[in-house]
Structure 1
């Protein structure tokens, strides 16, 4: 459906019959804008992918209905998250000691208990090697750093003093959900996120269309060069970039590809798409299931990050799916919020 007609149709529906808070709107009255958010007009779209790059959990393509909603135009920044912390005194997952019982509940039966030194506050930090490594061994570029958190993204000696307009990272799903509730918003569903990321385009692999990531001008903050040991920074950045550093998509949303992965509200279930048999709303799976790690329920993250490349992880593809446990935090995961009409 043409984007212009979608928007006109939404405005017409609002003008004629929409209700808000139980009060019917007068004819001709339009929705008030929400600062920092973009109105995403509802519609039907084909979710998932069927091309050569599509992973098994992106198949089959299925038709999904999405209602209109507001979405943050960019990822939540350090400055925005700092306001939340200042107002509430909230302490993020990475700033708290790790609960041994919780860790053990996520490990296979009979697993050895973690060393007590690993239960101190900290988070997973990207630590790139200086040489080629086995891409099946993520321990080659991830390390648990004591003292790493949203205020200290690269370890206890780092700060965010000059990074106010950068996306907040080292936030768990629980942290993101707490922020959303404070802001009177919520996290997007997986269907809402993909629908918005497509920006009105149909069956295109990227938020900007079909042009390859390394063709033309930089379109997103991703990995340039050989992952994980060589980054040419062709796109201007080695790690995260200030939000809105690249052109927006068709819905005027920034960084729906690259920069940081973004939490969504759905549980991850690798078989969910296979069980979606008819067009309709996508409520999300009732329970989580990751065949590679069945003992640990995970939430979906979307959009890819500065670490993604076709050589390793084409996570910036609009249909690409990733997952992580709700209490995990990493230096390449952030979030943005939505608000129902």
Structure 2
């Protein structure tokens, strides 16, 4: 039985997979989607990538085929083709102004790095309340409760004429999400699997492309309800609706670690002190072990946040208005849901993506300098120097040479030479001390010194001479 949650009723004989999968099309902003029927014919063999578009894959015989689907009672899963893609998220500007007061990593999604995944299954949209309730009725799952004691249900105005059971199941802990997926014979997706399914091989910033949609609201709707929130592979709900748990533990510098030959943060540095103070506040001024933070995904495909799976018997004494990094997903939140993934069965034909990953530069040659595009956030002066010394860019030796790979903090004069690409306003650490843009305009901005003590949490970007 296939249930179309939150979608228009289907005609008898229509494609049941439309409940959780749409053939991706370029859709004008604000125009209701009335998608054409999916063509049954496709090229027998692929001659060029243009012949095998979005929502399709290459089978072992080289034919271009629609992505395989696997139904379950409350929707279905889509087979994501094996392929390479660029992970991560690059901000448009680096502003450390407000993190000087309370140190935290704003841009945990940077820098970019290439990853490769085998083919796998993933749900076409988030787990609905109705689907989760079936697991509760079975005695396997437990009732979800938000940190404020509510069940996170939308308001009557938000529900409107829709069925409450069609909305995403939120307020779940990471453990509850994992239990549900296991009950269904699946698992939570890894961060890489979630991101690849959301953005595809072309490095899209959002599931539907590179442009932000300002009509995308923050209120929850039925799963799969937004006709424009369709990813490269035709899946729904990655950009809007619920944000989602994934399997990975949250680490601030997880993406940055791909380019490091050693540690650069001090156990007594600005970030460590800030984190300890914030956590102590959650524990009512006492030291406590709250549990484990896991990655939360949603919106920008490469962005990363973290939320708590609280330890057994542990609670947050004082509910904060926001998370450590400024978002609201502290733990089981009224917008925090999930979807499931699964490994491919041995007998399932492996599909591959029809287009290669879009290559993106990771460091820039500008004049007589190489400039690495990743930035270390909330570092004191000593940590900034250490960061450059352990940096390992693409093409650098796998083993870090004694003395590093030549990366170093720039001088103020060198920053002025590459100002158009350096990315401000900062402040950043330079050889002379702290520097920042005095006027935030990429064409006319001037860089100059700014007063800061050596232990302040600023940013660091590294260069090296040719």
Query: TM-score scaled by structure 2?
Result: 0.44
Task: Select the residue among 256, 276, 281 that pairs with 1:274.
Answer: 256
Match of 1:167 in 2: 168
Choose the corresponding residue for 2:107, options 51, 56, 80: 56
Aligned counterparts of 1:276 and 1:336: Cα–Cα separation in 2 = 27
2:198 and 2:117 map into 1 onto residues whose CA distance is 13
Match runs of 1:1-341 below 5 Å: 2=49, 4=52, 10-12=58-60, 33-35=69-71, 36-52=76-92, 55-92=106-143, 94=145, 123-124=146-147, 144=148, 146=149, 148-149=150-151, 162-200=163-201, 202-214=202-214, 218=215, 221-223=216-218, 239-246=219-226, 247=228, 248-277=230-259, 293=275, 296=290, 297-303=292-298, 316-327=299-310, 328-341=331-344
Give the Cα–Cα distance (whole angstroms) in 2 for the partners of residues 13 and 300 of structure 1: 37
Measure, in 2, the Cα distance between the counterparts of 1:42 and 1:64: 11
Task: State the Cα distance separating 1:325 from its structure 2 match.
Answer: 0.7
Shift of 1:49: 2.2
Q: Partners of 2:181 and 2:55 in 1: how far apart?
A: 26
Give 3-state SS (helix, strand or coil) of 1:82's partner. Answer: helix
Q: What is the aligned partner in structure 2 of residue 310 from structure 1?
A: none
Q: Does the C-alpha gap of structure 1 residues 31 and 320 become closer, same or farther in structure 2, counting only changes over 3 Å?
A: closer
CA contact (8 A) 2:84 2:116 kept: yes
Q: Bigger shift: 61-70 or 161-170? A: 161-170
Q: Write out per-residue CA displacement over residues 224-246 of structure 1, whole angstroms, 9 at most, x where no aligned residue.
A: xxxxxxxxxxxxxxx21011112
Cα deviation 1:171-229 (Å, max 9, x = unaligned): 110100000100000001111111110034x2321111122322xxx4xx434xxxxxx
Contact 2:55 2:234 in 1 (8 A): no
Distance 1:254 1:265, change over 3 A: same
Work out which of the two has the higher radius of gyration on C-alpha atoms and give 1 or 2: 2
Structure 1 residue 166: Cα displacement: 0.7
Q: 1:209 to 1:6 in 2, by over 3 A?
A: closer
How far apart are the structure 2 equivalents of 1:8 and 1:207?
16
Relative contact order higher in (CA < 8 Å, ≥ 6 apart):
1
- 1:56 CA displacement: 3.0
CA distance, structure 1, for counterparts of residue 154 and residue 209 of structure 2? 32
Aligned-partner Cα distance in 2 for 1:6–1:74: 18
Q: Name stretches of at least 5 consecutive residues in structure 2 with no aligned partner.
A: 1-47, 95-105, 261-270, 280-289, 311-330, 345-466
- Structure number with higher strand proportion: 2
Partner SS for 2:164: coil
Instruction: For 1:199 and 1:274, locate their aligned partners in 2 and report how far apart those are by CA, in whole Å.
Output: 21
Distance 1:7 1:258, change over 3 A: closer
- Partner of 1:312 in structure 2? none
1:153 Cα deviation after fit: 6.1
- Alignment root-mean-square deviation, CA: 3.3
Q: 1:9 to 1:212 in 2, by over 3 A?
A: closer
CA separation of 1:8 and 1:256: change in aligned 2, threshold 3 A: closer
The offset of 1:90, in angstroms, is 2.8
In structure 2, C-alpha distance between the alignment counterparts of 1:41 and 1:272, rounded to whole Å: 25
Counterparts of 1:198 and 1:253 in 2: how far apart (Å)?
10
Q: How many residues align?
A: 230
TM-score (structure 1 length as normaliser) = 0.60
Structure 2 counterpart SS, 1:88: coil
1:2/1:194 Cα in 2 relative to 1: closer, same or farther (>3 Å)? farther
- Tell me, which stretches of 5 or more residues in structure 1 are unaligned? 16-29, 95-122, 125-143, 224-238, 279-289, 304-315
- CA shift in 2, pair 1:53/1:317, >3 Å: farther
**Contact 2:54 / 2:233 at 8 angstroms: preserved in 1?**
no
